[in-house]
Amino acid sequence: MKNRTVKVDYLARVEGEGGLFVRVKNDVVTEAKFRIFEPPRFFEAFLRGRHFTEAPDITARICGICPIAYQMSSVHAMEQACGVVVDGQLRALRRLIYCGEWIESHVLHIYMLHAPDFLGYEDAIQIAKDHPDVVKQALKLKKIGNDIVALLGGREIHPINIKVGGFYRVPSKTELAPLAEKLKWALDTAIETARFTSTLPFPKMERDYEFVSTSHPDEYPFNEGNIISSKQLDITKDDFYNHFEEQHVKHSTSLHSVRKATGEYHVGPLARYNLNYDRLPDVAKQAATAAGLETTCTNPFKSIIVRAVETVFACHEALRIITEYEEPRTPSVDVQPKAGVGHGCTEAPRGMLYHRYRIDDKGIIQDAKIVPPTSQNQKVIESDLADFVSRNIGLPQDKLTWQCEQVVRNYDPCISCSCHFLKLHIERE
């Protein structure tokens, strides 16, 4: 079997519509494509002419899985354009709601989208037939993430309480208190989840990635910090477009983000972990060690363990914020529009999400650029596919196909996010 094709027309257990295609000739991989056929929705176009205060509500609709990420990148960009810094408890509450989104999204991915691959099930509902307690516990943990988002944001999907300058309403200490009790259970369960993920069978694969994430001197990153890489890069977010570009690759169906100096790069949990390990709290470091992780990890399949470790971090961080919380005097700071450009770069559960806006003195958006994590990971997903198939060329077709799907799902790709910015060309056979 020298020539073969691995083809998945509609990739399951990812957010959005995509497929994959790998061609092998004479035992050599000649083509590896992660195809996206999600229809474009033109957010960057219709944001023009909207008021700067509308950006968080509108951009949330790019993705139902990670709306907080879109809201956070947009509010930080607008605040920078208007010369405002949101600090103190309002800043802490923003970290808290991001913790909620990470818990909800990571647990969804770990148990419902990714674990079935390792365990040989089609989905989590099948897992529930054999191991009901595992799935019930996962749903309960996921729900605690959603509870944080719903309490602070008003609802789990497309929260309504985030605004440029802060929040419409902030919770009282008493409102937050019940969350602390739930989070204590969640922290233990997240630690148990890390242990569980470490028992999964991992295909052998180590790659020399260039990892890119934001990085803050004192904290594991959410909303602030420079953009750094594992290959000599340390820039402010304002400098993003001087170092990164979206490229049109020949015969490719989509725009790929590359670092101008070095090419493809990897964003997401693995990148954050490798670049910010020392800023994890001890409890997360211990969970990582217990799960057999070193301070670096370059096996993309093990991203499932790293997601669990980040869930431990998010539960711990949420507890810390709630314990130290004092209700701020006002729910938001006043932000007056100012003509200028603002950049926002925050860490969505699946990786760095960059926004740039130019607004006029009345606050009307003149220009918007949005670079979601999945479009940044596309090139690396394709090279992982090529690498994986060339190492496993002897596998039977159905197993190879399933594992290729798993290679893509390692990145928890959010196609709904990425497609609105990607070059799109439907190939029909």
Instruction: List contacts with other proteins (CB under 8 A).
Output: 10-17, 38-46, 48, 50-51, 54, 57-58, 61-65, 67, 108, 112-113, 116, 122-126, 128, 132, 135-136, 139-140, 142-143, 146, 154-158, 160-161, 163, 168-169, 248, 255, 331, 405, 414, 416, 420-421, 423-426
Find the DSSP H helices in 199-302.
240-243, 269-276, 282-290
Nearer to other proteins, 151 or 322 (CB): 151
Residue type, 212: V
Rounded to a whole number of angstroms, the minimum distance from the CB of residue 397 to other proteins is 15
Task: Quote the longest CA-to-CA distance of the chain.
Answer: 70
Residue 406: half-sphere exposure toward Cβ, Cα within 13 Å: 29
Q: 330 is written with which tokens? A: 């006002």
Query: Min. distance of Cβ 315 from other proteins in angstroms?
Result: 16
Helix orientation angle between 282-290 and 173-198, rounded to the nearest 10 degrees: 20
For other proteins, which is the closer residue by CB, 41 or 279? Answer: 41
Cα 101 to Cα 114: distance, rounded to the nearest angstrom: 18
DSSP string, 50-75: SBGGGHHHHHHTT-SS-HHHHHHHHH
> Where would I find the H helices in 268-365?
269-276, 282-290, 303-324
The residue (of 386 and 415) whose beta carbon lies closer to other proteins is 415
Q: Would you say 2 or 248 has its CB closer to other proteins?
A: 248
Q: Closest CB to other proteins among 112 and 291?
A: 112
SS3 149: helix
In sequence order, the β-bridge partners of residue 364 are 51
- Taking the complex as a whole, the smallest distance from the CB of residue 60 to other proteins amounts, in Å, to 8
Smallest separation (angstroms) from other proteins to the CB of 49: 8
Smallest distance, other proteins to C-beta of residue 26, A: 30
Rounded to a whole number of angstroms, the minimum distance from the CB of residue 61 to other proteins is 5
Q: Look at residue 394 and give its three-state secondary structure.
A: coil
Q: What amino acid is encoded at 121 in this protein?
A: Y
CA distance linking residue 189 with residue 334, whole number of Å: 40
Provide, rounded to whole angstroms, the least separation between the CB of residue 44 and other proteins.
Answer: 5
Nearer to other proteins, 13 or 33 (CB): 13
Residue 348 corresponds to which amino acid? A
Nearest of 410, 10, 113, 251 to residue 20 by alpha carbon: 10
- Helices 173-198, 303-324: axis angle to 10 degrees equals 160
Q: For the CB of residue 331, give the shortest distance to other proteins in the complex, in Å.
A: 8
Kindly tell me which of 303 and 406 has the beta carbon lying closer to other proteins: 406
* Amino acid present at 309: V
Q: Which helix (H) or strand (E) holds 44?
A: helix 43-46
Taking the complex as a whole, the smallest distance from the CB of residue 88 to other proteins amounts, in Å, to: 20
State whether the Cα torsion 271-277-279-282 is positive or negative: positive
Nearer to other proteins by C-beta: 14 or 280? 14
Q: Which is nearer to other proteins, 140 or 358 (CB)?
A: 140
